[in-house]
A and B are shown apart, each in its own frame.
Chain A
Amino acid sequence: MSVRGKVAIIGAAETDSLGIIPDRSALQLHAEAARNAFSDCGISKSDVDGVAAAGQSPIAVADYLGITPRYIDGTAIGGCSFMVHVRHASAAIAAGLCDVVLITHGESGRSRVGAAPRAPDGASLQGQFEVPYGIWGPPTLFPIGVLRYMKKFGLTHEQLASVAVAQRKWASRNPRAYKRALITLEDVLASPMIAYPMHLLECCLVTDGGGALILTSAERAAAMDLPRPPVYVLGTGESAESTMISMMEDFTSSRAFRMSAARAFAEAGIAHSEVDHLMIYDAFAHLPIYGLEDLGFVGRGEAGAFISEGNTEPGGKLPLNTNGGGLSYTHTGMYGMFAIQESVRQLRGDAAAQVPGVNVSVAHGVGGMFMSAGTLVLGTADVART
């Protein structure tokens, strides 16, 4: 069974503001995003019979909103959880388990209001085999394979820095982006060293914010009087590797990325050349590099040059991370929701830095430190019908 074209995203919205929101708890951010998503598509909460969330329990979200669900998905596998929520919800809707699913994200990543503690237990695998070595958050873990990638493929520090420069060009066109001032390679390379080889400007932001999506069947969407065009789910994928990055099979490529993307592209039945717009979860500057290769847009070892030559920038042939990404737009901790939001905006034609004529958009997320992946191929009605 394929869900291609059978399910649509009818509502999509973010919290009123993003960035530093000290007056909202994580749960409030979920709720605010949900209410904005209801307004976005003009449906009422009583129409919703399925709830999915990560970070906060979907039960907490449903109860806060006064929704009695008959479908609940608490998949919490890191920042790509929301791609996977869309995947699971699509299957559930297509199978008739529920009719309208609300997916929420809200995280007080910066202000830490009502946020869950982060430290793993000393008896967990990570607590025994990684934490004792002085790991301190994602900057000490996520980039641990970059030097191996550099040795294998000749990626330069300048090419790595060019990822941050390219994305800032997109962010400069987006009033909601947290960082908008244009930067140069020199700025990136002169920014403080966080964990060699990663400089500050090659690491994501740490912000507060949230987002929500509402999905229903294409059939139901067609019968609704929606203020904005539905965005159709063409193909989806998910996969996982290890909760410990030190156990990665290949430090220059993500197995989870490859598996997840291959499944999503196969289901969508599209070629890479048909992708008009691409979001690759960028917690760090090397992620778009790994992503472009593991998703199959360029060959192994080619992504650094591809980005530094301007192909992903405004006006380039493959617009990538057009909201500015986790590096410049926002990064609450589980950024995947914001990548999907931007794909939806681009397909609706109402993005801040709109790319002309987007009919197919891919949103690819990562969870943990190359721990998991989720991929969505989304399209307009024109593509979904073919």
Chain B
Amino acid sequence: MSVDKPVPKPTPETQPYWDGALAAELRIQRCTPCREFYFYPRLFCPRCMSADVQWVTVSGRARLHSYVINHRAAPGFEADAPYVIAIVELEEGPRMMANLVGVEPRPEMLTLDMDLEVAFAQRGDLRLPVFRPASGSVS
């Protein structure tokens, strides 16, 4: 029996993030008083607790911070294995988990700190932020 890949269920505080992804934009929050970007979405700034926070569409540029290449597929990912589960560091500072696409899942192709850019993969009725090597970057 084949299983679909898991689809996230947005909550009120994360809805703008998923709405952004559907519009092919990476949106995260920024605290107005302390100017810090942060991820994951929260009701107020995790640093200063100000509720004066804004949703901002960020550049989508990131660097590869760390990763594993998973050889034992999660249900729904059988056709993808081996695949990369990465930690990416956004140009704006926060880090997040994402898959890498458009690059072979081999260590020699995946240099830490390589430049990446966001892309969006259809997942159920949502689109999921993923990352690929930045266009124009030497690979």
Let me know if A123 is at the binding interface, CB within 8 A.
Answer: yes
A132 touches B123 (CB 8 A): yes
- The answer to whether B72 touches A194, judged by C-beta atoms less than 8 angstroms apart, is yes
**In the complex the two chains form, what is the Cα distance from A82 to B13 in whole Å?**
34
Contact partners of A148 in chain B: CB under 8 A:
65-66, 87, 112
Cβ contact within 8 Å between B68 and A132: no
Which residues in B have their C-beta under 8 angstroms from that of A192? 71
Does B7 lie within 8 Å of A193, measured CB to CB? no
Given contacts A130-B97, A246-B87, contact A196 B9 (CB under 8 A): no
Known contacts A195-B68, A196-B69, A246-B97: A127-B74 contact under CB 8 Å: no
Supposing A122-B7, A122-B8, A127-B8 touch, asked if A251 and B72 sit within 8 A by C-beta, the answer is: no
Q: By the criterion CB–CB under 8 Å, are B73 and A196 in contact?
A: no
Q: Is A211 an interface residue (CB 8 A)?
A: no
- Interface CB pairs A-B, < 8 A, 20: A123-B8, A123-B11, A127-B8, A129-B8, A134-B83, A134-B85, A135-B85, A136-B72, A139-B68, A144-B97, A145-B66, A146-B68, A151-B112, A192-B71, A193-B71, A194-B71, A195-B68, A195-B72, A246-B96, A246-B97
A287 to chain B minimum Cβ distance, whole angstroms, is 15
Residues of A within 8 A of B6 (CB): 122, 127, 131-132
Q: Point out residues on A near B: beta carbons under 8 Å.
A: 121-123, 125, 127-136, 139-140, 143-148, 151, 192-198, 244, 246-247, 251
* Bound CA span A196–B67, Å: 8
Contact call A129/B40, Cβ cutoff below 8 A: yes
CA distance A282 to B10 in the complex (A): 35
User: Which residues of the other chain, A, contact B7 by a CB distance below 8 angstroms?
Assistant: 122, 132
CA distance A246 to B67 in the complex (A): 10
What's the nearest-Cβ distance from chain A to residue B99, in Å?
5
Residues of A within 8 A of B96 (CB): 129, 246
- Binary A-proximity of B40-69 (CB < 8 A = 1, otherwise 0): 100000000000000000000000011111
